[in-house]
Amino acid sequence: MTGVPIGHIAWRVDIGNNFYATSANGKASGVLSLLMNGEGSVATSGRILNGQVTPTNFTSNIIDEDGKTELQVIFTAGVAEGLIIQEPPKKHKLLPVNDADRRGATDPLSAMLIPANTRDGVLESANCNRVLLIFDGQRRYNLVLAYRRLDKVNIERGYSGPVLVCGAILQPIGGYRADSMVVKYIAGRRDIELWFAPITGTSIMAPIRVLVPTLIGTLRIRAEQFEVVAIPASSVPIPSNESPR
């Protein structure tokens, strides 16, 4: 942010013929680590049905300046049910998340694995045009994506080539403070960008760069490494509710 490193995230995705698993972990670093405590991990697993990633389970363990929050979300019959295992005392009243808000929602990791819905390939402009309904166990929000342009990236460790740039509009639904200045500032802005690169060997793309305006400058998240490795089917972890393929 404003040219100063503030954190690092490692994200892994395992994709099989009909299931997937993905996890991410990270922590604040540099100047930010002197100002606030922040680290955590998230993970999800699910099935791939008709080319779409469909989560079944999502877990999150986050430590910030308020304390530790541990939660789990189970996706059953198209409804996301959140279970908060541990959380610090709430300091503010939050907007509610209703039953209807959790219907059709996905988790934050699965939402960022965008499948190609057109015959012209993953980087076809139409693949941007969608609304992501996201529930992380506490917060429920939409990301409204729309095609912005095609661009190129060159990452020393991994992918170099074209990327699909989608504009994104944040629509907060519930789980937020009604008077949150940050949410009010970011929500509805039209200068958020998500840059997606194809995951080789699949019809799925993943974010390789994110640009978000904030009150103190633009937050830039960029991949330093974006590598795809094919591994034998016998080495791929299989969820307990799946049979080998």
Given this model, what pLDDT does residue 55 score? 97
pLDDT of residue 235: 54
Q: Is residue 119 part of a domain?
A: yes
Residue 1 lies in a domain: no
The answer as to whether 184 is a domain residue is yes
H or E stretch at 187: none
Angle, CA of 219, 14 and 87, to the nearest 5°: 55
What's the domain range around 14?
7-230
| Beta bridge partners of residue 22, listed in sequence order | 13, 44
Measure Cα distances from 219 to 33, 121, 140, 153, 178 in Å.
16, 29, 21, 18, 23
Domain count, the chain: 1
Residue type, 26: G
The answer as to whether 122 is a domain residue is yes
* 178 within some domain: yes
Q: Are residues 126 and 117 in contact, defined by beta-carbon separation less than 8 angstroms? A: yes
Here the tokens at position 26 are 């990270």
- Cα gap 185→85, rounded to integer Å: 31
Residue in the structure block whose two tokens are 């170099």: 160
- 206 found inside a domain: yes
In 107-177, which residue ranges form alpha helices assigned H by DSSP?
108-111
Cα separation, 188 vs 183, in Å, equals 9
Q: What is the pLDDT of residue 240?
A: 47
Q: What is the pLDDT of residue 119?
A: 66
Say if 244 falls within a structural domain. no
The 10 Å Cβ neighbour count of residue 162 is: 14
**Positions of E strands within 50-191:** 52-64, 67-76, 79-86, 114-115, 130-135, 140-154, 157-158, 160-174
Question: Within 13 Å, how many C-alpha atoms sit on residue 70's CB side?
Answer: 3
Domain assignment of residue 2, yes or no = no
Q: Which residues of the chain have pLDDT under 50?
A: 240-245
pLDDT at site 245: 33
Give the dihedral sign, CA 12/105/72/30.
positive
pLDDT tens digits, residue range 160-184?
A: 999 999 999 999 999 998 888 878 8
